[in-house]
Chain A
Amino acid sequence: MLIRVFVILLISALLGIGTATFRGLPWKPDVNAMAQRAALGDAVERRQKELRASVGVNLDQFKALIAQGAVVIDARAREDYEKAHLRTDFGAPVLNVEPEHIGENLNRLNELLGQPLVLYCNSDTCELAEMLYIRLEENGFSGMKIFFPGWEGITAAKLDTVAGPDRWTGSTGVGQPPAGEENADPSDSGASETQTGEAEHE
C-alpha cells in the first residue's frame, strides 16, 4: 500500500514538474516580493476595519465615480488582468498595478496625483486592493476608494470587461472620453484589444 501511495505522489510530482517546466514557471518564488506582501498583509490586518468602514464603495458609487472620471486601478495579478478586466464606458484607462510592483509604476502613477482613484482586486476576501491603497498612501496619494466586491462584483453586475495587457503610459484618457471612444461597442469583436489601445491614442 505504501508503495502505491508513493507512486501516486510521484506521478503527481512529475505532472506538476512537467507543467511548470513546459509553461516556464519559476520554481523559486520572488521572495522579496512575497516578504513585501507579507509585511503589507500585516499592515492591512492592522487597518482592515478602518479601511473597510471608510473607503469602501458599493456598485452604484463605483459606477458613479467612474462616470465622474475616476481612474480605476486593478490590483490583481498581471495574468488575471490580462485575461479580463473592467472596461469603462468611455474607454478611460483601467490600470494594472500589483501592490509590490508599485515602484515600477510610479512614473505613470504620479501623473494621476490629485485624480480620484478607485481600486479593486479579486473579491471581498482579496487584500491586494487594500495593500495597494496603503502603498499609494505611502507615495503621497490620498482620497482613494476601494470597490471591495472586486472582480467578482464586476462580473456579477455584468459590467463591461475586456482582455489584454495594460499599456497605458500617460494621462491620455483620464477623466474624459478619448476621441472616437464615446460610442465604443463592448460587444465589438475588436473590444479585447481596444481597452489597451489607450497607449495607442497618445
Chain B
Amino acid sequence: MNEMAPPRGDMNLIGVASRVGVALILLAAALGKIELPQNFAEEVAAYRVAPVAWVNAIAYLLPWLEVVLATSLITGVWRRESRLIVLVLLVGFTGLKIYSQVAGLHISCGCFSGTFAFLSKIFEGPRGIALNLGLLALVATDFYSDARRNAVASRTDKS
C-alpha cells in the first residue's frame, strides 16, 4: 500500500462526507423545484438550449431524479450507478453555466427555487461554476475512496 495515502478508515469517512454533502445539495435543489415546477420550467427555458416543448417535462422529471440520486447516495443502494448519473448531471450543469456565462445570459441559474431560492445566488456566475467544480471534486473523491476500499478488500480476500 502507498504509505503516503491516508488510512483506509479516513478515506471511508472522507467518502461518506463527500457523498452526503453532494446528496444534501441535490435534495435542496430538488425540493424547491418540486414545490414550484413552473418557475423551474421558465428557468430551463431561459437557457434556450432545450426545445420549448420539453421544458415542462424536464421541470417535472429532473427534480425527482435528483431526489432519487440523493436518496441512493445516502442509503448506499445502487450508489455506483447513482454516482455515475450525478457525475453526468454535474458535468452537464457546469457546461450550461459556462455557456450562460460565455453567452452573457443574465438569467437565474435554475439551481434552487422555492424554500431554497436563497441558495441560487451562491450558485450563480463564476462562483457557481467554481462550486459546481467543487461538487464534481466531491463526487470524484467518493469514487476514489470507493475504489481504494474495493482494492484493499480484494487484496485482503486474496491473502
Please report A residues at the B interface, Cβ cutoff 8 Å. Answer: 1, 4-5, 7-9, 11-13, 15-17, 19-20, 23, 25-29, 31, 34-35, 37-38, 41, 45, 48, 77, 79-80, 122-123, 125-127, 152
Contact = CB atoms under 8 A, between A and B. Distances in A.
Interface in B72-130: 72, 78, 80-82, 84-85, 104-108, 117-118, 120-121, 124
A167 B60 CA distance: 29
B81 A8 contact: yes
B81 A125 contact: no
A152 B56 contact: no
Contacts of B80: 1
Contacts of A23: 37
Contacts of B34: 19
B56 A19 contact: no
B118 A29 contact: no
Interface of B: 34, 36-39, 41-42, 45-46, 48, 52-53, 55-57, 60-65, 67-69, 72, 78, 80-82, 84-85, 104-108, 117-118, 120-121, 124
A71 to B, nearest CB: 24
A17 B72 CA distance: 20
Contact of B37 (A9, A25, A35): A25
A124 B158 CA distance: 60
Given A1-B80, A5-B85, A80-B36, A16 B60 contact: yes
Most chain A beta-carbon neighbours within 10 Å: one of B39, B52, B84: B52
B60 A29 contact: no
B56 A26 contact: yes
Contacts, number: 105
Contacts of B63: 16
A7 B78 CA distance: 10
Given A1-B80, A20-B60, A80-B36, A127 B107 contact: yes
Contact of A31 (B39, B53, B65, B107): B53
Contacts of B82: 8
B53 A29 contact: yes
Given A8-B78, A8-B85, A29-B56, A15 B68 contact: yes
A15 B67 contact: yes
Contacts of A11: 68
Contacts of A80: 36, 39
10 contacts: A1-B84, A12-B67, A20-B60, A29-B45, A29-B56, A48-B106, A77-B39, A123-B120, A127-B46, A127-B106
A7 B77 CA distance: 12
A123 B48 contact: no
Given A8-B82, A77-B38, A16 B64 contact: yes
Contacts of B57: 16, 27
A84 B67 CA distance: 26
Given A1-B81, A41-B46, A126 B108 contact: yes
Contacts of A13: 61, 64
